[in-house]
Structures are given as C-alpha cells and as structure tokens.
Chain A
C-alpha cells in the first residue's frame, strides 16, 4: 500500500512538473505580404514598458544585421520599411520571467500586419528576453522566406 501511495505522488509530481515546461513557437506570413530586401525596422515602444523590451527587440534585429530603431510612433523615421509591434507577458515562479512574447511586422503607414510570431515558454523552459526576441524573430524571418 505504501509503495502505491509513493508511486501515486511521484506520478502526480511528474504531472505538475511536465506542465511547467510548455514550449511553443508560432509564426505566419499574411497572404500577399511583401517586405523589401534589407528593410529598416522601427520597434514601437509600449506605454509603461519598464523592461525596455522594444530596445531588446531592436538590439536583436541589429545583431541579425538589420538597421533598427525603437521608440514612440512620433519618433519613427520617415524611411522606416517595417513597423514592429509586440506584447510581452510575464509570470512569477520563484522570479519574474517572460512567459510569452508576441510580435508583428507591419506596414509602417497602414499598420496592416505582414508577418506574425509568438514564443511561449513556461517556467522550466524559460529564456531571457533577448533569447525570446531572437527566437520569435528567427521564426518570423524563416516563415517569410519560406512563403
């Protein structure tokens, strides 16, 4: 009986732990979306973006070899080719961590989406914001080039 109880709790604990490591990446290109070669990006800051995620994304784009800037919409240079919008979600498990990052490449004038991407990582699979940003961007560029 004791063995059965121990086994039961081991299985239960395993169930909880496996639930802590959900990983999902998604990216899609909207039909007819066109982005010029070597585009100039502008990452739109969110109001109250205390963690400066816009800058993190912009830095990752630069590290990938693109010209990029970030800030409020009024700061967007007129020669911007792609506007980048995002939403970051955070969760607490021993410490705050980014659980989800959504990103969109948009037409800078109409703000119509061109490519969308998402990365979701729960506690045991957590990554730093720059790694999450790189993961989403890589998926979005791959999806754009594939189609």
Chain B
C-alpha cells in the first residue's frame, strides 16, 4: 500500500459533513453538562486543524515535508499581536499606527505570510528530500530565535494582547463566538482547498509529488507551481495563527518553534494525508490524546512518542496503512461486491 494509491479520494464527502455538524452542535452540548473548557479545547483543536490543513496541502498532495509551517503560524499570530500592542501603547511601527481591528491586522498578517512564504519557498523548493527538510527546519528556527531576540515584543516570555481584538467594532463576546468563527473559517478553507486539489493546478501539484521527471518531460516545470502551492499553504497556516492570537490573547515563541512544526506534521499524518479535511480528524485525536494523557501522567510525551514510534515501526506504510486497514475492515466487503 503506498501513499498514492488511495489518493483519488480527495473530494469531501459525508464523513466530513457529519463531523462539521457535530462540531457545530458542540457549544449546545457544552451548555448542558459540558463546560467552557470543552469549547476552548475544541477551539484549540480546530485552529491546529486549520494550520495542518494548510500544511497538508503541500505535504499530503505535494509530497513536501515542511518543518517550517509553525513559522507561518507565528507570522500570523505575531502580526496581529504586535499591531495590537502598538494600538495599546498608542505609538507607531515604521511610521504606521497599531490597530486592534482584525479587518486590518488579519489581511496584514496574511500578506506578510505570503511574502515570507514566497521568499523562503523560492529558496527551499530548489532543494529536495533531506536537504529540503533540513532547510525548512533551519528557517523555522531563524524566525524562532528572531522573535526571542525582540525584547520589545516580550522576547522569550511572549506577549499579552491587552486590548480586545475586534472586527471593525464587533467584539467576540464569548468563547462560543470565537469557536464558531474558527469553525466557519476552517470550513471555508477546507472547501477552498478541496476545489484546489481537484483543479488543473492541483493535478500538477499531485503529479509533481509522484514523478517530477515525467512532469518535466510532458512540458511542465514544477518549480513555479510548487512555489504557488507553498505560498497558499503558508498563508492558510498563517490564518490559523491569526485565529490563535484571537482565541489565546497571548502569543509566544513556543507557538512557532520547530516542535510545533513537527506537531503539525504529526497531525497531518494522523489525518491520513490524502484528504483535505484529514487534519481535522488528526487534530481532534492529537488534542484529545494530549489532554487525556496529560491528565493521567506528567510523562505523557513519553507515551505519545512511543505511540508515534510504534505506528511508524509496525505499519511500514505509515499512518496511512492504519487507516487503510480500518477502511478495509469497514467497507472492504462492499468494495469487492
């Protein structure tokens, strides 16, 4: 079983609709019996899901193992936080005033992420395999250490967002409001990227991960396509960073360390790589596992790490073959008929 053989199923179908409906009902459920904490936990899962959806576009479909997506996440979160910080202080940044209006800081964050992604992508996409992975890892840490060095923005301690963030006056009154905002944004990007992977452009991206030599021989040089894909991917992850700043009202360098990048890869792999919405499942599993394991033991990372190792060792096809096995159990019979 290879990664590509189940790659045909990229269109969102009934399972994802079901998941979204259940998620939309979650705040109602939490009112009776659940708690605000449940909603905050789910919000965290959905934001990580969106970040990993962005990553998965290049990882699952383009075959690019990027370990720098936390840096795009960080660009999104820090842009919003820094603009809010200057708004709070009433001073300026490069002659421009700060703002807590997300209709300004949100697009600014995405724009900066686009610029950062184009610049770094143009560099890393010239390399392949292990080189690519190492370069992305190094560039991720470049931004990480840069943010730590910026003492005026909290350095290692991170920074609190003091003024309420708002959409031209509309403030998010409750955890549920933020939750629904995140859910809608996530659904929007899942839909957008689902269209994208089935388009001609998406075909080129999938083909480039299959066989670059062949793609070149039929007249398409993959580089520019991969650069566009990498940029889109980085921007989507940056949007997740913006949502992170909104929901946490706090950003720190830990949000953009390479460990977070690796977490996103794990989430995408847990989601099975071949579906645009896969990371949503991956993120729910990841966040819930993190929550319950850390409840049981302080050494939950040990358990989690062993879990990752066990899966990669026991299932040579990666997590994907685990899903494939499950799929076979459930639907194999119907498939053969």
- Asked if chains A and B come from one complex, the reply is no
